[in-house]
Every structure is written in C-alpha cells, then in structure tokens.
Amino acid sequence: MGVKDFTDGVRALLIGDATFVADIQTVLGKQVTTVMRSNVPWAQINDKQLPCYLMEQGNGDASSFGGSDETGLTIGHYEQQFESGLDVCLLWNEQDRERAADQRAQLPDIFARLFLRNPQPGGVAGAWLQQWVPDQGVLHPRQVWAARIQAQLVIERDV
C-alpha cells in the first residue's frame, strides 16, 4: 500500500471511527465533519469552516523494518519499505483559555487510541501517533493542535 492509501485511510478514520468521532465531539462540543487535504494556511480558513481537520503529507524515508537492508529494498528489488509521516491538524475556536487548554490536553489520548484500535489505515504495515504540537493559545481564540501520524508502508514494484 502506498502513501495515498495511507492518507485516504486516515481521512476515513477521522470522520468514520465512531468512538473517535464521539470523543472529539465530547471534547469540542461540536462534531468535526470537514477534512481538508492540503496544507491551507490557518489564517485563510474561514470561521464557518471550523472545526475542521487539515492533512498534509509529511516526510518519508527508506526504512529497514522487516529484516531487509538499510535501504528498505528486498532481494530482487520486488518491494521497498518506507516510514512516512502524515501531518494532521485540528482547528477550532474556543474563547475560554482554560477550556481550550483542557481540550488540547485531551487530544493526544484520543488520537493515540484511534491508531491503537486501527493500526493499519489504508493497508499500511502499521501507523501510530508519533508527535503532537499544541499551539498553546498563540492564535487565540483559534485553537490549533497538530499531530504527526507515522506509518510503515511497503511499495511494491508490480502492482
């Protein structure tokens, strides 16, 4: 499975995993139904579009998981393994600074559990919450919480 499959799989989970959707709705008080698939500058997103997710492909590197060499290539160059990131940002408005801080503090657990329940979105070998960066209220009242979802994937020569 490739990077597009991974991206499509994560997008489907963000709006389709019932437990995740309910947890996010409980934390934000609103359901998030919009996933934008490009890294639109946050300031260009209209308040009427919030809350929403933004997704953008992150960096990818050859990986030697699965016992292959350091380039991730198998014997005969049939396939190559990679580790790839996907940046997912959640944007919403919250006027109350204390409430916003509490909301941001709950998101790592919710996202980690999503990938513990669904470790292979889009058919990748494995995916997990690798990193998160809260905006710490810098853009208040707009809240931004960014996550890096990391995946191990295999790209085959003959598909």
Q: What's the CATH code of the domain at 118?
A: 3.30.2000
pLDDT at 43: 81
pLDDT at 106: 98
pLDDT at 65: 56
The boundaries of the domain holding residue 129 are 3-57+84-150
The answer to whether residue 49 is domain-embedded is yes
pLDDT at 99: 96
pLDDT at 52: 97
Tens-digit pLDDT profile for residues 61-73: 887 655 545 555 5
pLDDT at 74: 59
pLDDT at 136: 80
The answer to whether residue 41 is domain-embedded is yes
pLDDT at 67: 53
**Alpha carbon distance 140, 95 (integer Å):** 7
Q: Which stretches of the chain score pLDDT less than 50? A: 68
Q: DSSP string of 29-87?
A: SS---EEE-S---GGGS-GGG-SEEEEEEEEEEE--GGG--TT-BPGGG-EEEEEEEEE
Number of domains within the chain: 1
The answer to whether residue 155 is domain-embedded is no
pLDDT at 91: 96
